[in-house]
Chain A
């Protein structure tokens, strides 16, 4: 447990998250309109999305399948009977005057997410529920001095709201939760997890208490759109609440916003101003009944998820939990690694992927999907080390060239003449000339200055531009110096 030190002692933060994840689907939750990001405003809007008179919602089965798939991926209970409700409130970007959501009977019930913490330990956080709902449109306040423009492209897009239990105690845990959830969603192919494009957004519930005390009054920070902001907002909000309580004040339950320029949370509306959403079952939609066999069929198509993959990497490849975590966090990384490791030394493969490759990608700001070095080519490089064509040191030089040009390792070695010299005659000749040029040092060595051996090796490698096979150099040099 890590506590925050206040004036009056230790404080514990209690955090629960509501994540809104946009379902990967070509069509909206209740209409056939397209969902592509970045389209011309109001170009992906059906009469249903714009709430024209007499229009009716029809459930998009693919979105239901995606929600079930996600529920299964969170090891959650799938509710075969669920109900869509109307959440009523007025806003300009909510054309129907209500959002179709699920209130009392969500499609997915209790599940769990295992957090992988930076120290290699893990911790399980409960998932309370997952429900499906429609997204609203977008209000554009900056297009006109006095008017607000409305873009309904997002109106009706399917969202999964995934609600956690108040199980997290630090900002780091909250960050790890969002990262892990995003990773699972991406593995499942149910949400792209792209927070910059708004396909994943967080509402963060924060309260503080003295360790062991009952839960304090919580504040909800709405619509936080990056993991960094989630963590910053929690830190700020916890300290704000502690300060108020320690000064004798009381926390008001309210909705707050994270100000991304001032790095503070600001009050948005108090409990008194909270909407009365007047939820009731949407009479335009029948209750959703799922066939258990259909759910089973989806279950049978689930991919291997991060937790299982991690366990397998540790067991099968003998990787450290840390390396395994790093590799399974994204499916593309794990796939890349497995391609490299196939038929090769897995530890060596993991080192090259997590070391050189991730290092270069990071510096270049590239995703693994954009890596100029393909998994096959990295494997080829490792093969050249294994069969003594090049040394490990030369390999790093070859990798740099591969990253720049995208060429195969063998081609670069060939072109640059980096092939390791294993011809004993050639090595002997080099050694002879080094020893001849350094007769004084040879004498010193022979009189007992053993440490000079390294010097001779260095000189030989220098003379061969590093291409001489180090084992052969050692062997011949030892023999010559003794003689």
Chain B
């Protein structure tokens, strides 16, 4: 039943409810799909036995009339979420052999609501990257790559850091996947692979049990093939968690109910500063197209100004590495993961961390250590914090004039492995449209809006007020329907 892997979550829930198929059948189809897409290197750990056991339990619950909101839906989990008894690597050598004795709050919530785990998907090491090329377990290939499977004529990146999540969902090996977004790690890969990805407001999803990259920015979110599916999955992932002090004690709305299609009278902010120099014509064109679609649906575009946008990337690349340099200090070879012995404690640290961390992670630890050092703290870290506050104020001001903001998600379509790789700054520029909302803690979503001249997906980004994911989702669905993208990846399970 290969057709099962092409269903949306909403359709799969209907089919399960109508007993067209069972959770076991749905899961079996996906377990097979996971095997089929191995050439993409999307999964680090496949958990087929666990998936089938969970599916069986799900069918039993459904039979008893205890079906949860995601009952029987097979999903993939970014390997940054700790999963009890299942290796959790953060795509790093330094977590070799680490099997958590605990389950992250977000994944616990998903299992509570009936979801089924297919396995742990690949990512950039410690979520640091925009192309999923920094993983210790090898790069992920986008299913949009042209050429023969495994012998691609051009190996496209799926984006990053949630590249494995994006590839698995786009290639129809999972109905959805968890992602995490620190500066764009859900939205940019969603745009690159033609799927939907939403980063909710900072504080919506618990960070407990998620391997930390930059604590003040990290936020989990769903990656799915439709906006409706994102609404379903987001609802299950969210919720207050007393174990995360930054988690917010607010009721979780029924996001699906917000998808009314009615955006009449809504003001859509178009930030003039996002028309960056050298923006490719097709990016500008899809943005204009998005504005036109929303106008047609009765919304009113308004030009807004986010004057500190130009400092956002620099601010992000100070704040995120600073926090990362401290968050990653715990990987010292003493209690879990990799240990490379040395003659002294210092030698052991150096050997372990030298061998355990990849080049990009080491680069960011160095940057972060530098910007927090005595004598540089005020010039870098403290200044960045001040600018971050200004960026937040920019959005506060903007949202006095509009209800939602529309921008492109990424400055280009997916690039090929080998491109943009020599210069880390060039790679960091991928995050130019996604980073400001991360710094402000706002909800942001990427929706497929069309394809570029190269036939590759283009995404548009919607940003909302804090805790107003509902408007973001509602407007996103209007774009999704108007765009009605039919293109699919050349390689699907």
Q: List chain A positions with a Cβ less than 8 A from chain B.
A: 47, 50-59, 86, 88, 90-92, 95-98, 148, 150, 276, 278-280, 283-286
Q: Is the Cβ of B329 less than 8 Å from the Cβ of A54?
A: no
**Closest partner residue, chain B, to A148 (CB atom):** B345
Q: Is the Cβ of B245 less than 8 Å from the Cβ of A54?
A: no
Whole-angstrom CA separation of A98 from B215 in the bound complex: 14
Complex partner residue of B330 from A59, A95, A276, A283, CB under 8 angstroms: A95
B210 at the A/B interface (Cβ < 8 Å)? Answer: yes
B392 at the A/B interface (Cβ < 8 Å)? Answer: no
Complex partner residue of A88 from B81, B212, B326, B345, CB under 8 angstroms: B326
Whole-angstrom CA separation of A147 from B212 in the bound complex: 30
**Closest partner residue, chain B, to A282 (CB atom):** B215
Fill in one digit per residue for B91-118: 1 if any A CB lies within 8 Å of its CB, else 0.
Answer: 0000100101110100000000000000
Q: Is the Cβ of B210 less than 8 Å from the Cβ of A54?
A: yes
Q: Find residues 184-220 in chain B having any chain A CB closer than 8 Å to their own CB.
A: 207-212, 214-216
Whole-angstrom CA separation of A98 from B368 in the bound complex: 14
Whole-angstrom CA separation of A88 from B374 in the bound complex: 12
Q: How far does the Cβ of B320 sit from chain A's closest Cβ, in whole Å?
A: 10
Q: Which residues of B contact A50 (CB under 8 A)?
A: 335
Q: Is the Cβ of B322 less than 8 Å from the Cβ of A280?
A: yes
Q: How far does the Cβ of A169 sit from chain B's closest Cβ, in whole Å?
A: 32
B2 at the A/B interface (Cβ < 8 Å)? Answer: no
With A47-B101, A96-B329 as known contacts, state yes or no: A58 contacts B82, CB within 8 Å. Answer: no
Q: Is the Cβ of A88 less than 8 Å from the Cβ of B372?
A: yes
Q: Can you give 21 contacting A-B residue pairs, CB < 8 Å?
A: A52-B100, A53-B211, A53-B336, A54-B102, A54-B207, A55-B209, A56-B207, A56-B244, A56-B245, A57-B245, A88-B329, A90-B329, A90-B349, A97-B328, A148-B345, A278-B325, A280-B322, A280-B326, A280-B372, A280-B381, A284-B245
Whole-angstrom CA separation of A56 from B208 in the bound complex: 6
Q: Which residues of B contact A53 (CB under 8 A)?
A: 82, 88, 90, 95, 98, 100, 211-212, 330, 336
Whole-angstrom CA separation of A91 from B88 in the bound complex: 25
Q: Is the Cβ of B326 less than 8 Å from the Cβ of A284?
A: no
Q: Is the Cβ of A92 less than 8 Å from the Cβ of B211?
A: no
With A56-B244, A278-B372 as known contacts, state yes or no: A284 contacts B215, CB within 8 Å. Answer: yes
B246 at the A/B interface (Cβ < 8 Å)? Answer: yes
Closest 4 CB pairs of A and B: A97-B329, A283-B216, A278-B372, A283-B215
Q: Is the Cβ of A52 less than 8 Å from the Cβ of B336?
A: yes
**Closest partner residue, chain A, to B206 (CB atom):** A56
Scoring A59, A98, A283 by chain B CB atoms within 10 A of each residue's CB, the highest score goes to A283
Q: Which residues of B contact A47 (CB under 8 A)?
A: 101-102
Q: Which residues of A contact B332 (CB under 8 A)?
A: 90, 92, 97
Q: Is the Cβ of B374 less than 8 Å from the Cβ of A276?
A: yes
Whole-angstrom CA separation of A53 from B92 in the bound complex: 12
Whole-angstrom CA separation of A92 from B346 in the bound complex: 10
Complex partner residue of B326 from A91, A97, A148, A276, CB under 8 angstroms: A97
Whole-angstrom CA separation of A54 from B102 in the bound complex: 10
With A59-B245, A278-B372, A280-B381 as known contacts, state yes or no: A54 contacts B326, CB within 8 Å. Answer: no
Q: How far does the Cβ of B187 sit from chain A's closest Cβ, in whole Å?
A: 21
Q: Is the Cβ of A278 less than 8 Å from the Cβ of B207?
A: no
**Closest partner residue, chain A, to B209 (CB atom):** A54
Whole-angstrom CA separation of A293 from B345 in the bound complex: 49
Q: Which residues of B contact A52 (CB under 8 A)?
A: 100, 102, 335-336
Q: Is the Cβ of B210 less than 8 Å from the Cβ of A96?
A: no
Q: How far does the Cβ of B86 sit from chain A's closest Cβ, in whole Å?
A: 13
Q: How far does the Cβ of A159 sit from chain B's closest Cβ, in whole Å?
A: 20
Q: Is the Cβ of B335 less than 8 Å from the Cβ of A284?
A: no
Q: Which residues of B contact A284 (CB under 8 A)?
A: 212, 215, 245-246
Complex partner residue of A54 from B82, B246, B323, B372, CB under 8 angstroms: B82
Q: How far does the Cβ of B240 sit from chain A's closest Cβ, in whole Å?
A: 13
Q: Which residues of A contact B212 (CB under 8 A)?
A: 53-54, 284
Complex partner residue of A278 from B104, B214, B330, B369, CB under 8 angstroms: B369
**Closest partner residue, chain B, to A139 (CB atom):** B345
Q: Which residues of A contact B32 (CB under 8 A)?
A: none
Q: Is the Cβ of B330 less than 8 Å from the Cβ of A96?
A: yes
Q: Find residues 346-375 in chain B having any chain A CB closer than 8 Å to their own CB.
A: 349, 369, 372-374
Q: Which residues of A contact B246 (CB under 8 A)?
A: 283-286
B17 at the A/B interface (Cβ < 8 Å)? Answer: no
**Closest partner residue, chain B, to A91 (CB atom):** B345
Q: Which residues of A contact B245 (CB under 8 A)?
A: 56-59, 284-286
Complex partner residue of B373 from A95, A278, A283, A285, CB under 8 angstroms: A278
Whole-angstrom CA separation of A65 from B246 in the bound complex: 21
B149 at the A/B interface (Cβ < 8 Å)? Answer: no
Q: How far does the Cβ of B178 sit from chain A's closest Cβ, in whole Å?
A: 13
Q: How far does the Cβ of B165 sit from chain A's closest Cβ, in whole Å?
A: 17
**Closest partner residue, chain A, to B330 (CB atom):** A51
Whole-angstrom CA separation of A51 from B327 in the bound complex: 10
Whole-angstrom CA separation of A54 from B127 in the bound complex: 13
Whole-angstrom CA separation of A54 from B207 in the bound complex: 7
Q: Find residues 442-490 in chain B having any chain A CB closer than 8 Å to their own CB.
A: none
With A51-B335, A278-B369 as known contacts, state yes or no: A56 contacts B243, CB within 8 Å. Answer: yes
Q: Is the Cβ of A95 less than 8 Å from the Cβ of B335?
A: yes
B250 at the A/B interface (Cβ < 8 Å)? Answer: no
Known pairs A92-B345, A278-B325, A278-B372. 13 more at Cβ < 8 A?
A50-B335, A52-B100, A52-B335, A53-B100, A57-B245, A59-B245, A88-B325, A88-B326, A90-B329, A90-B349, A92-B332, A95-B330, A285-B246
